[in-house]
Structure 1
Amino acid sequence: MKIGYFLSSEEYPPAELLAQASGAERAGFEALWISDHYHPWVDAQGQSPFVWSTIGALSQVCRLPVTTAVTCPTMRIHPAVIAQAAATSAVLHEGRFGLGVGTGEALNEHILGAVWPQTDVRLEMLEEAVGVIRELWRGDFVNHHGKHYTVEHARIYTRPDTPPPIHVSGFGPKSIELAARIGDGYVSTVPDAEMVRRFRDAGGGDKPCQAGFKAAYADSEDAGALIAYQKWPNAGVPGELSQVLPSPRHFEQAAQLIGPDMMKESFVCGNSVDAHLEMIDRYARAGFDEVYVANTGPHWPGLFDLYRREVLPRLR
């Protein structure tokens, strides 16, 4: 299994994300995920740099593969622009770039005033957007007049020798089946074997399945849980709320029903090597090929040291 590190754009400023990327490479991580947000989930996270600027800068500080986890190419940014941004990123990273996409959240995508569509419409938009992106990556002039997008006389000149893989996020049956049909890989955050099985049976076959989880490194489990609660209480928000709530303050209101101890259910809190190994094993047993760990809070150097000294050697 490939072990990577997840850069959280919602929590760290650009310079710190670059420092984390360099630290992850030195610690022995094999790849990077990076999130794409216009807003943080809650104000306590406090950041949200433009991901494409950060991705360009990452190419100058490390040589790890980078994948967006995930970009929504349907509303806030037109897929023709995403196609250009991803192509340039792949050139800068010398082919070590993957475009992870999904249907997004209202938190980020509503900002231009468009109506937040129902799930079926968002999936339809995502499928058309991926088609537009791939067509532009062929290098010819593109004219596209579809149900959701129009492209006229557009050509991408700066392109990598090989188009980036497109990994598609999915959690419900329809989105997982779409990922299997149009994606070069599958993205999730849940160690659920049934999701992986559905992806593979629906046409995903042996395409790579990637997943991520969060940690809160600290001197004790309780201290880590408190950091996670202060920074990421939205992790406990249930159901479809993460897709439909429109602003950080709404997530803060929903998170009032969550307590610090509940964070231990979704985060690896503290500094236990065994707890990290157990979480990674859950994803491995579910059938994932790659897993990415994100840290929350100020103690990410400690997490890197833990993985360098203990976790990665024991895995390998």
Structure 2
Amino acid sequence: MTEYGYFLSCEEHTPAALVEQARMAEQAGFTSLWISDHFHPWNDEQGQSPFVWSVIGALSEAVSLPVETAVTCPIMRTHPAIVAQAAATSAVLLDGRFRLGIGSGEALNEHVLGGAWPEAAVRLEMLEEAVQVMRLLFQGKRVSHRGKYYTVENARLYTVPDEPVPIDISAFGPIAGEVAGRIGDGFITMAPDADAVERFRRGGGGSKSVRGGLKVCWGPDREEAERTAHRLWPNDQLPGELAQILPTPSHFEQASRLVTPEMVAGNVTCGDDPDAHITAIRAYTDAGFDTVYVNQIGADQQGFFDFYRTKVLPELPA
């Protein structure tokens, strides 16, 4: 059975707006929430970047939906022991309705403390050790760990949920997908890639959950929606590893000058045609995803939720 969630964008919205969007998502019939975890937005036009753990605390009081970070990087900016404490507290506040989505991160967020940005293979090694540390701490016992990348000394989480927090791994390449299958409780990706799902399952993922994210821009004027998507999220069309290695929003703005409005229009579902939105979501369900999280680009959130409540969600396969 496929479920449909809403993807809260910390890069675009204030904390109060995110909480209100979560309420609207629940009222519209979405059954779970993703929330991004960034230090910077991708560009200045997006304009926000609240601390995700504070927002999750507010969400725990505002809605009854499950919440997952999409995604937190536990390898540099925040030590895995601290991420483990934040995740455990979130799970307690949400009465077990929290999953920790993690990935190997981007220089955009992780370089801010001045450390060198490692190459991808090293980041995956760091991620694997970080998962080991967090799983130990989720047991609520005293932990001492001296590994290749992290040291933890006499640490114990006293506030922990009844069950360890599930950890889902974000992966975009073959090697990362295999790591996700081996160490994760689930798989996260942002494209309806059936091959990636199959690699995850073959790599040890088996029947574990696969979760995907989709950005759209609803609006009654399709061309205006396309302009909004191009203004706010041209970075999504940048190729290769640029998203992982560019260090500041201004660098993303420079690179995004190469992204044309036509490129965005060809890759982002825009406008108010229900069939177009349904087709975009079904690409994920057809590829074997268990949950699809949809994000509305831009300010017209109420219009989006009304549209999905009446025209899209009722037509999607359960």
Same fold? TM cut 0.5: yes
CA distance in 2, matches of 1:243, 1:269: 26
What is the CA-CA distance between 1:264 and the residue it aligns to? 2.0
Q: How does 1:267-282 map to 2 (within 5 A)?
A: 267-282=268-283
Partner of 2:297: 296
CA distance in 2, matches of 1:213, 1:265: 14
State yes or no: 1:16 paired with 2:17: yes
Partner of 2:285: 284
State yes or no: 1:177 paired with 2:178: yes
What is the CA-CA distance between 1:292 and the residue it aligns to? 0.3
State yes or no: 1:28 paired with 2:12: no
Check the 8 A contact 1:218/1:270 in 2, yes or no. yes
Task: Out of 298-307 and 238-247, give the one that drifted further.
Answer: 298-307
Q: How does 1:1-316 map to 2 (within 5 A)?
A: 1-315=2-316, 316=318
Which letter maps to 1:179? A
Which letter maps to 1:147? K
Check the 8 A contact 2:80/2:133 in 1, yes or no. yes
Q: Is there any run of 5+ residues in structure 2 with no aligned partner, and where? A: none
CA distance in 1, matches of 2:261, 2:100: 34
Check the 8 A contact 1:214/1:266 in 2, yes or no. no
CA distance in 2, matches of 1:165, 1:272: 36
Secondary structure class of the residue paired with 1:297 = coil
What is the CA-CA distance between 1:265 and the residue it aligns to? 2.8
- TM score, norm. by length of structure 1: 0.99
Q: Which runs of 4+ in 1 moved over 4 A?
A: none
How many residue pairs align between the two structures?
Answer: 316
Secondary structure class of the residue paired with 1:212 = strand
What is the CA-CA distance between 1:220 and the residue it aligns to? 2.2
What is the CA-CA distance between 1:163 and the residue it aligns to? 1.2
Check the 8 A contact 2:278/2:312 in 1, yes or no. yes
CA distance in 2, matches of 1:300, 1:124: 39
Q: Is there any run of 5+ residues in structure 1 with no aligned partner, and where? A: none
Check the 8 A contact 2:138/2:165 in 1, yes or no. no
Check the 8 A contact 1:237/1:254 in 2, yes or no. yes
Secondary structure class of the residue paired with 2:113 = coil
Secondary structure class of the residue paired with 1:164 = coil
Q: Deviations over 1:198-218 (max 9, x none)?
A: 101111000000000101121
CA distance in 1, matches of 2:17, 2:247: 27
Check the 8 A contact 2:99/2:165 in 1, yes or no. yes
The two structures, once aligned, show a CA RMSD in angstroms of 0.7
CA distance in 2, matches of 1:311, 1:234: 27
Secondary structure class of the residue paired with 2:257 = helix
- TM score, norm. by length of structure 2: 0.98
Same amino acid, percent of matched pairs: 57
CA distance in 1, matches of 2:176, 2:297: 28
